């Protein structure tokens, strides 16, 4: 890692890494960031991904769960596990993924706040509303 760039007012940050050394060695490729408004996503199914605590208490295993979008605000998306599923301790900053209208995966948000019991409402910062900050931060100090 080269630098950390926290957002000045929202629960988000950018990690500046040496792409050649870190991503290529791990065989990782980024998922496209959503750039379209998410205002019409209420009720649509999305996928939470995380490495946090499981119901058995273990951590570090990448797991995925499908949940509906409960609410959309100007800066956040809420999803609801309805007492069955959800993000948990250690999942913070993990992606919320959705299938765009053109049928490919996009990152819709990053986990800001999970439910205390890991089975109810989780809140994600919307990537589409963070894009101006991401673009400016990359111009000012991240990237090649």
User: In terms of C-beta distances under 8 Å and separation of at least 24 residues, what long-range contacts does 66-72 make, across chains too?
Assistant: 67/122, 68/43, 68/44, 69/41, 69/42, 69/43, 69/44, 69/45, 70/42, 70/121, 71/42, 72/38, 72/39, 72/41, 72/42, 72/126
Query: What length does the chain have?
Result: 144
| Cα-based torsion angle of the residue sequence 62, 66, 68, 74 in order, rounded to the nearest 10 degrees | 30
> Class for domain 31-140, per CATH?
mainly beta
Q: What is the pLDDT along the chain (144 residues), one digit of tens a residue?
A: 588 999 999 999 888 877 666 666 666 666 778 777 788 889 999 999 988 887 777 788 888 999 999 999 999 999 999 988 889 888 888 999 998 777 788 999 999 998 888 888 999 999 999 999 998 998 887 544
Question: Which residue ranges make up each domain of the chain?
Answer: 31-140
């Amino acid at each position: 890692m080269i630098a950390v760039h926290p957002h000045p007012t929202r629960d988000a940050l950018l990690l500046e890494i040496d792409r050649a050394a870190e991503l290529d060695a791990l065989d990782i490729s980024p998922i496209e960031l959503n750039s379209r408004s998410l205002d019409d996503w209420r009720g649509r199914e999305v996928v939470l991904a995380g490495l946090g605590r499981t119901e058995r208490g273990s951590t570090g295993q990448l797991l995925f769960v499908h949940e509906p979008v409960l609410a959309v605000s100007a800066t956040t998306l809420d999803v609801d596990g309805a007492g069955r599923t959800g993000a948990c301790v250690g999942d913070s900053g993990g992606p919320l993924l959705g299938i765009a209208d053109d049928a490919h995966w996009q990152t819709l948000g990053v986990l800001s706040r999970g439910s205390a019991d890991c089975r109810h409402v989780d809140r994600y910062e919307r990537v589409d509303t963070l894009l101006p900050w991401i673009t400016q931060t990359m111009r000012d100090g991240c990237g090649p």
